Amino acid sequence: MFVDKTKIYVKGGDGGDGIVSFRREKYVPMGGPAGGDGGRGGNVIFRVDEGLRTLVDFRYQKHFKAPRGDKGRNKSQHGANAEDMIVRVPPGTVVVDDDTQEIIADLTRQGQEVIIAKGGRGGRGNIRFATAANPAPELAEHGEEGEERWVVLELKVMADVGLVGFPSVGKSTLLSVVSSAKPKIGAYHFTTITPNLGVVEVGDGRSFVMADLPGLIEGAHTGIGLGHEFLRHVERTRIIVHVVDMAGTEGRDPFEDWVKINEELELYNEKLAERPQIVAANKMDMPEAEEQLAIFKEKVRDKTSRDIDVVPISSLTKMGVQELLYKAMDMLEQLPEAPEVEEVAEVEERKIYRFDKKAQSQSEFTIRRENEMFVVESEAIEGMLKRLQMNSHDAILKFARTLRKMGVDEELRKRGATDGTIIRIGEFEFEFVEGSSYY
Ligand SMILES: Nc1nc2c(ncn2[C@@H]2O[C@H](COP(=O)(O)OP(=O)(O)OP(=O)(O)O)[C@@H](O)[C@H]2O)c(=O)[nH]1
Ligand SMILES: [Mg+2]
């Protein structure tokens, strides 16, 4: 089991701004408010796509921003809502908030969808602010900002392809040239003692996971040379790439090697004899390999009724490697059922945490002094300042009322604010007005 991990940025679209507008009709001198609300920003939604097996796509694209909502229009028309952005992820993807390390989603079923970053609400237009006391308000809201966060995607993967063969035939070398994995490579036997996994990008957008397994030897099925340990891993792979040393290094006979390994596989588990297999005839850069290959192919044809693909390659020069990858990928796609992801059942039970930043500290504020100035910090007020378009008398009035309702005014007064004292909230500065007749 191997965990592929990547961190990406998601942002929901901002809501469209509400607008200030008034009805203008013939013969109606004083039209009422007619500024419509802005549209909702798009959500960023993750959707499970069984066709995906890895997270490689996220290595290239790491920022996902949904579009913003349209502005409100006059004649009381609502701005259009933005479309959601759909991001496809492979089954088995766990989404973790990078800040809090909480699990946001656990995506397992085909088609399952979760909103990862919400789009902002549209701002209200001035029709919404009309009251008996102020029937023609010059007041509208900005659209709410879309939710943004960094999330870590985690995917537990099983190997699709297992590399098997005698020691030193070049399994690790092959994995190292087709993936970013860095397995140990050595001219001595059993260089590899635990499996290495790598994500292989085929080059046409498709990808799969390849495991470089420790070398097998005769008697492996009885446990010799940690055989059981290694064969257990082979059992879990969907196809086998059987690496054979065509140079016959150390006086080996490629065909005999191939037969022996197949016997070991079958003796360990009969099913392994039927597992789809491709032969990677490796070390073709060596002088004697060509001749050996011809003999090998002939013997394989005689020996088995199975149609075994023999692909000549050199992991050293990379000759034939691309072709081998395409063959493996095509074969994987033709396999009938989707691979079983063992851990899914267990993962599904895991609790999913959701958190709502907005729920916290809605009405809290703090006041501190900076020389002659008071600085008010409050999520709620700062949010409101962002929302409201502070360019009209009505907007300022609404803002002032909120400060009073929350008790900010009173607190400022207690701390010694008087007429003309400068108050700063967020990026907004204004003078304190004692006993204002505004409200
Ligand atoms: N000439 C040549 N040498 C190769 C090729 N592929 C691998 N080798 C060499 O073969 C030796 C063994 O390579 P490894 O990749 O470690 O072999 P392995 O199959 O992983 O071996 P174990 O982990 O011990 O089972 C190294 O010295 C490699 O440089 C090839 O295509 N051509
Ligand atoms: Mg190795």
Give percent above pLDDT 90 in the chain: 43
**Average pLDDT score over residue span 346-359:** 37
Q: Which residues' Cβ are closer than 6 Å to ligand 1?
A: 165, 167-173, 185-187, 189-192, 214-215, 282-283, 285-286, 314-316
Please name which ligand lies nearest the alpha carbon of 289.
1
- For the record, the structure tokens of 185 come out as 């490579």
Q: Which atom of ligand 1 is nearest to the CA of 315?
A: 31
Gap from CA of 300 to ligand 1 centroid (Å): 23
Give, for 166, the enclosing helix (H) or strand (E).
none
Average pLDDT over residues 389-396: 78
d(CA 42, CA 347): 29
Sheet containing strand 2-11, edge to edge, reads 63-65, 2-11, 148-157, 93-97, 103-107
Q: Determine the average pLDDT of the residues in 151-178.
A: 91
Ligand 1, atom 9, residue with closest C-alpha: 170
Instruction: Ligand 1 pocket test: pick from 166, 172, 290 the residue with the most ligand atoms within 8 Å of its Cβ.
Output: 172
The rounded distance, in Å, linking the Cα atoms of 85 and 143 is: 18
Question: In sequence order, which residues have a C-beta less than 8 Å from that of residue 407 and are 6 or more positions away?
Answer: none
What pLDDT is attached to residue 362? 56
Please report, in range form, the residues annotated as the binding site for Mg(2+): 172, 192
Q: For 21, which DSSP code?
A: -
Q: How far is the CA of 285 from the centre of ligand 1 (A)?
A: 12
In DSSP terms, 245 is beta-bridged to 282
pLDDT at 4: 75
In 10 A of CB 384, how many CB atoms?
19
**β-pairing, 93-97 with 103-107?**
antiparallel
Q: How confident is the model at residue 363 (pLDDT cuts 50, 70, 90)?
A: low
Q: Which ligand sits closest to the CA of 246? A: 1
> Which ligand 1 atom minimizes the distance to the CA of 163?
19
**pLDDT at residue number 29:** 61
What does pTM read for this prediction? 0.60
> Tens digit of pLDDT for each residue in 193-240?
777 888 899 988 888 989 888 888 777 877 777 677 778 778 878 999
Q: Looking at per-residue confidence, does 192 or 89 come out higher? A: 89
Backbone angles phi, psi at 208, to 5 degrees: -150, 175
Q: Which ligand is nearest to the CA of 230?
A: 1
Report pLDDT digits (tens) over 38-50.
999 999 999 999 8
Measured CA distances, 102 to 19, 109, 152, 154 (Å): 38, 21, 10, 13
342 has pLDDT over 70: no
Higher pLDDT, residue 5 or 438: 5
Q: Which residue has the higher pLDDT, 266 or 59?
A: 266
Q: Give the model's pLDDT for residue 290.
A: 94
Range with the poorest average pLDDT among 112-121, 296-305, 358-367, 372-381: 358-367
Residue 165 alpha carbon, nearest atom of ligand 1: 19
Residue 16, pLDDT > 70, answer: yes
Distance of CA 303 to the CA centre of its chain: 47
**Minimum mean pLDDT range among 17-26, 82-91, 161-170, 262-271:** 17-26
Q: Whose CA is nearest to atom 30 of ligand 1?
A: 283
pLDDT above 70 covers a percentage of the chain that reads 90
Residue-level pLDDT at 156: 75
Q: Which residues are annotated as a binding site for GTP?
A: 165-172, 190-194, 212-215, 282-285, 314-316
- Mean per-residue pLDDT over the chain, rounded: 85
Query: If you take atom 32 of ligand 1, which residue's CA is the nearest one?
Result: 283
Q: In 3D, which of 126, 123, 120, 99 has the Cα closest to residue 44?
A: 120
216 alpha carbon, closest ligand? 1
Q: What is the pLDDT of residues 63-116, one digit of tens each?
A: 999 999 999 998 889 999 999 999 999 988 999 999 999 999 999 888 999 999
Distance (Å) from CA 225 to ligand 2 centroid: 14
Q: Given this model, what pLDDT does residue 28 score? A: 62
pLDDT band at 256 (very low <50, low <70, confident <90, very high): very high
Q: Please give the structure tokens belonging to residue 222.
A: 């009885």
Contact 32, 22 (CB under 8 A): yes
Check residue 234 and give its pLDDT: 83
Q: Report the pLDDT value the prediction gives residue 30, as an integer from 0 to 100.
A: 67
Q: Kindly give the interhelix angle for 227-235 and 254-268, rounded to the nearest 10 degrees.
A: 80
Q: What is the pLDDT of residue 339?
A: 44
Range among 26-35, 275-284, 301-310 with highest mean pLDDT value: 275-284
Return the pLDDT at 325.
96
**H or E stretch covering 148:** strand 148-157
Cα-Cα-Cα-Cα dihedral sign, residues 334, 327, 273, 306? positive
Rounded mean pLDDT, 24-38: 79
d(CA 265, CA 239): 13
Report the atom number in ligand 1 closest to the C-alpha of 173.
15
pLDDT of 347 above 50? no
pLDDT of 340: 47
φ/ψ of residue 198, rounded to 5 = -145, 150
Q: What is the 3-state secondary structure (H, E, C) of 68-114?
A: CCCCCCCCCCCCCCCCCEEEEECCCEEEEECCCCCEEEEECCCCCEE
